[in-house]
């Protein structure tokens, strides 16, 4: 570039600046003031201090997360958010732990499945790329998480899932898409060999004992395996504590295996001694009476009244009529229990869609109902955390088929949810 060109460009630049300043009152009335403030701020800072401030500012700014290793790296660190409608209606801050945003099977069971696989590998019970098969008795979500992670960690399609035949069909369909073998077995008490948990255990033992099988069978055993509650002790509990800055009045969760409520309680209680841990229990489950009265019993399960052979509720994933090692691990830290009927769970699920656009599964609806009851008991001004275990998309054929379409509903009152009843509800 020759000297004439440089002179021309320089003159044009200066002219542009002068023109801008000349018209600042018409076009940019605040431009001059902002420029002066910026220059004054810059001039007041020594060069070294300015560099240090710039570095701190960049570090403090929120940004995208670091790159993680594989889909298993997307498990945990789920958001905790204010459920606006429930918080506004109760005067408490009701927060939902969005476990449906876990990155493998999109449920809280991702944490459990990963923990069980990792600990099994550490002890030599599972070996990637060896033909080993993972067996599990599941209502669906744990099997889905195991199937996803088995693929990710080198077990290919080697997962065999046994589940009750009365669970939502979309769960077993998803398992099949993930490459799992699925046995849908009739619901049966745990004392019978055909119970879905006992069948999974037996199949794992058969493969291990086989002289022709290419690998061993591993029974994940989510109900009794302490890797379950440890996943929540090491992950969910610390996350909640950090997200709440240690300020929390109540934690609400249902229990199927009992791993979530036990693991979180075991972490939080020593750090927040006054924390109230509350079990959310569906109808037909004996855990409510186990917490309240120390006895495993439910009216809907008494002899001569059961309409089916398992816990009599449309809610899936929580509720049980036997003691599990995972629930017992933290039982002494559970302060109270709230019984939630099917009608109340359905009404709460509809409310959350109507008011918040939040589409959750059946156990999450039970948890939210219990959170509201706890908020009303504690009074306004308290902070309550509950678990949103999975999305309603896994409950379309049963729970949400019963709940129906929300349609144009906009004016449901919380009292309607709290007082929801069904013709079959017992006093």
List residues with catalytic annotation.
Answer: 109
β pairing state of 80-82 and 93-98? antiparallel
Q: How far apart are CA 190 and CA 208, in angstroms?
A: 23
Residues 143 and 113: beta-carbon distance below 8 Å: no
Residue 11: both structure tokens together: 């003159």
Neighbours of 38 (CB within 10 A): 10
Residues 136 and 109: beta-carbon distance below 8 Å: no
Q: How far apart are CA 72 and CA 139, in angstroms?
A: 22
With a CB cutoff of 8 Å and minimum separation 6, the contacts of 86 are: 94, 368, 371, 372, 375
């Amino acid at each position: 570039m020759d000297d004439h060109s440089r002179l021309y460009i320089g003159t044009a630049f200066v002219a542009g600046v002068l023109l801008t300043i000349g018209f600042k009152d018409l076009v940019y009335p605040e431009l001059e003031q902002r420029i002066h403030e910026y220059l004054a701020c810059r001039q007041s800072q020594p060069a070294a201090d300015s560099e240090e401030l710039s570095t701190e500012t960049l570090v403090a700014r929120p940004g995208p997360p670091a790159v993680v290793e594989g889909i298993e790296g997307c498990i945990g660190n789920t958001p905790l958010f204010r459920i606006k409608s429930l918080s506004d209606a109760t005067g408490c801050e009701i927060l939902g732990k969005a476990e449906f945003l876990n990155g493998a099977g999109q449920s809280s069971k991702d944490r459990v499945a990963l923990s069980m696989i990792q600990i099994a590998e550490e002890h030599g019970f599972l070996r990637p790329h060896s033909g080993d098969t993972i067996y599990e008795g599941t209502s669906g979500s744990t099997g889905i998480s195991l199937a996803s992670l088995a693929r990710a960690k080198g077990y290919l399609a080697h997962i065999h899932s046994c589940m009750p035949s009365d669970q939502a069909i979309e769960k077993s369909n998803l398992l099949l898409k993930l490459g799992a073998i699925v046995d849908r077995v009739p619901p049966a008490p745990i004392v019978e060999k055909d119970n879905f948990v006992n069948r999974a255990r037996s199949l794992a033992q058969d493969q291990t004992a086989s002289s022709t099988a290419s690998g061993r069978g591993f029974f994940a055993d989510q109900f009794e395996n302490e890797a379950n509650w440890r996943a929540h002790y090491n992950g969910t509990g610390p996350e909640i504590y950090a997200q709440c800055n240690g300020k929390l009045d109540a934690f609400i969760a249902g229990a199927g295996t009992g791993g979530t409520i036990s693991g979180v309680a075991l972490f939080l209680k020593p750090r927040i001694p006054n924390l109230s841990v509350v079990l959310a229990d569906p109808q037909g489950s004996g855990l409510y009476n186990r917490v309240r009265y120390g006895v495993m019993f439910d009216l809907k399960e008494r002899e001569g009244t059961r309409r089916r052979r398992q816990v009599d509720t449309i809610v899936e994933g929580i509720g049980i009529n036997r003691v599990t090692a995972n629930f017992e691990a933290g039982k002494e830290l559970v302060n109270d229990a709230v019984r939630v009927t099917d009608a109340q769970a359905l009404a709460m699920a509809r409310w959350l869609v109507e008011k918040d656009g939040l589409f959750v599964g059946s156990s999450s609806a039970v948890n939210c109902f219990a959170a509201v009851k706890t908020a009303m008991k504690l009074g306004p001004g308290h902070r309550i955390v509950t678990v949103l275990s999975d999305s309603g998309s896994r409950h379309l054929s049963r729970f949400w088929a019963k709940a129906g379409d929300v349609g144009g509903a906009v004016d449901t009152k919380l009292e309607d949810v709290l007082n929801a009843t069904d013709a079959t509800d017992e006093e």
